A and B are shown apart, each in its own frame.
Chain A
Amino acid sequence: MPAARRIFGLETEFGLHLDAPGARSVTPEEVAGHLFHSVVRWGRSSNVFLTNASRLYIDVGAHPEYATAECDSLTDLIASDKAGERIVQDLVAEGEQRLRDAGVDGTIHLYKNNTDSAGNSYGCHENYLVRRRADFRAFASALLPFLITRQIVTGAGTITRTPQGAHYSFSPRADHMWEGLSSATTRSRPMINTRDEPHANAELYRRMHVIVGDSTMAEPTTLLKVGATDLMLRLMEAHVRLPDLTLANEMQAIRAVAHDITGAATVELADGRHLTAVEIQQSYLDVVRAHVGDVIEPTAEVESILDLWERGIRAVREQNPSLVDTELDWAIKWRLIQRYQARLGCRLDDPRLARLELAFHDVSPERGLYHRLVSQGLVRTVVEDAAIERARTVAPQSTRAKLRGAFVEAASASGQDYTVDWVHLKLTGASKTVLLKDPFRHEDARVDTLLESLSADERG
């Protein structure tokens, strides 16, 4: 049984919302500028790598974006992802102060969600390093029926408003997908982006860049979203024969699944069969389970992923969200919304419920709901709080991220200018750039030398 080691990364674009009733109108760009003032002061740029080896920047549309460092375990990934929420939230107080100084009195909210109130969408991108192969398009296409239907377990859930009224759907992202595979991202959003940027030795690796997923708040949802996808990839890499569930029309299917919370809607397969998302997910879960012990090394983590996957499918099949309503975002939110709706005696399209939905995704520990739900035991966690705290400043220690984190830390402390990206480390003015093509390596003699020279400078 091969030791399964994979590099994972998550990129999150946050919704940026200035609530300042009565103030002059302020563009998202201006708010983002104030929010990132301390980042620019630290890194002379609004696009930086931090000491925890992750990347923080302002992306298209003035969205603050946080990309985790490369992680080789799901617990490191979740810790780094959650640390990112805290890192961006910590920019809020100064951003608000700077806006007040500019005459705008308001509150800044950062949402880890996927749509604004006008229906604009932004993403959460998952990265899985896979072995390069000649048939990448076929390989990636084989994952599409899984990605299209996994929203019934890992979707963030959302109230969808239509001219005919409102209903609850599995995924806010589903309506914004226009292609299966493509190298574009904003012009035509695909489910898998085929842009070939492995940030690693390109002869050996490719990046599976999944951009169809929802941003997820609850740690078990992230565990299942990335964990189940990783297990699928492991089977595919081992050339296990998967059930052929190729869909007849992917764009139609992803919408049909999203908008049917009963799980009863069927989608048409290329071979003419009609199956529900529940049946498709169950087929994949069954084949994954059948290979635990040969292709998949049995671990407690794998078991917990499979257990949650199973219960998530059952929750939809049996229409019993309480099976997962402390673990899966769509069910956690649905319970909150239904309870609040009952108290208010209002319709589902009431703005107070939309406000509740935003509060769920607000990353603030004070203004947001997620942290309150966790402290009340209403949402389960996967990693210790101390691990998240540590991940704010300390890079994952078992991948290349360790080298980058140590370099950023030492170079910052020395006061020297430097340049850094996913694969390069360089001191400004130095003749050599250190190129780190292997994301699995956390030790490198060249980096040691570089770090020694930096600490010598500091002593000297």
Chain B
Amino acid sequence: MTRRATTASAARSRLPGMGQTFSSGQPYEDDAPEPAPAPAKAESTDALDSLLDEIDDSLQTNAEQFVRSFVQKGGQ
């Protein structure tokens, strides 16, 4: 498994930054009253629903064809 390598660092220098943030899709207003601390579960429920809202279209588009086209030989 020895392999040669040469110059430059193409494989790593092109790697773009990560840690992007995604809009939650949850509008809020500055002048709204301070919300009472809601149970954590309710908050994450809202976040999950808005996430599903965001991705719903892309998941529905040709879902069957998309899934079926993922076939690859087995590995180890």
A and B bind: yes
Binding site for B on A (CB under 8 A): 13, 15-19, 21, 28, 38-39, 41-45, 47-52, 56, 59-63, 65, 86-87, 90-91, 94, 109, 111, 116-118, 120-123, 125, 176, 185-186, 189, 211, 322, 326, 335-336, 339-340, 343, 350-352, 354-356, 358-359, 365-367, 369, 371-373, 375-378, 385, 388-389, 392-393, 408, 411-412, 415, 417-421, 424, 426, 428
Q: How far is the CA of A116 from the CA of B74 in the complex (A)?
A: 8
* B54 and chain A: residue at smallest CB distance: A372
How far, in Å, is B64 (CB) from chain A's closest CB?
4
Known: A38-B10, A359-B55. A117 touches B5 (CB 8 A): no
* Partner pick for B11 among A18, A38, A121, A211, CB 8 A cutoff: A38
B55 touches A90 (CB 8 A): no
25 pairs across A/B with beta carbons < 8 Å? A13-B75, A15-B70, A19-B70, A38-B11, A41-B10, A42-B7, A42-B10, A43-B6, A45-B3, A52-B12, A65-B75, A87-B11, A90-B15, A117-B69, A120-B71, A322-B41, A336-B52, A355-B67, A372-B22, A376-B51, A378-B48, A389-B18, A408-B5, A419-B3, A424-B2
Residues of B within 8 A of A94 (CB): 14
Q: Give 3 closest A-B pairs by Cβ, nearest first.
A: A122-B75, A61-B73, A120-B74
A42 touches B5 (CB 8 A): yes
A50 touches B11 (CB 8 A): yes
How far, in Å, is A364 (CB) from chain B's closest CB?
11
How far, in Å, is A327 (CB) from chain B's closest CB?
13
Known: A44-B4, A393-B12. A186 touches B47 (CB 8 A): no
A116 touches B52 (CB 8 A): no
B33 in the interface (beta carbon within 8 A): no
Q: How far is the CA of A415 from the CA of B8 in the complex (A)?
A: 8
Interface size on B, residues (CB 8 A): 50
Residues of A within 8 A of B55 (CB): 359, 369, 372
Residues of A within 8 A of B11 (CB): 38-39, 42-43, 48, 50, 56, 87, 91
How far, in Å, is B37 (CB) from chain A's closest CB?
15
* Partner pick for A377 among B47, B56, B60, CB 8 A cutoff: B47
B30 in the interface (beta carbon within 8 A): no
Chain A contact surface mostly: mixed
A373 touches B51 (CB 8 A): yes
Q: How far is the CA of A38 from the CA of B13 in the complex (A)?
A: 11
Given A21-B62, A90-B15, A358-B70, 15 more A-B residue pairs with CB atoms under 8 Å apart are A38-B10, A43-B3, A48-B11, A63-B72, A65-B75, A123-B75, A350-B63, A351-B64, A355-B66, A376-B22, A389-B17, A393-B12, A408-B5, A412-B5, A420-B3
B27 in the interface (beta carbon within 8 A): no
Q: How far is the CA of A359 from the CA of B60 in the complex (A)?
A: 12
How far, in Å, is B61 (CB) from chain A's closest CB?
9
A47 touches B1 (CB 8 A): yes
Q: How far is the CA of A411 from the CA of B7 in the complex (A)?
A: 8
Known: A62-B72, A365-B18. A351 touches B1 (CB 8 A): no
Residues of A within 8 A of B59 (CB): 340, 352, 355-356, 359
Residues of B within 8 A of A392 (CB): 12, 15
Known: A322-B41, A419-B4. A51 touches B12 (CB 8 A): yes
Residues of A within 8 A of B49 (CB): 339
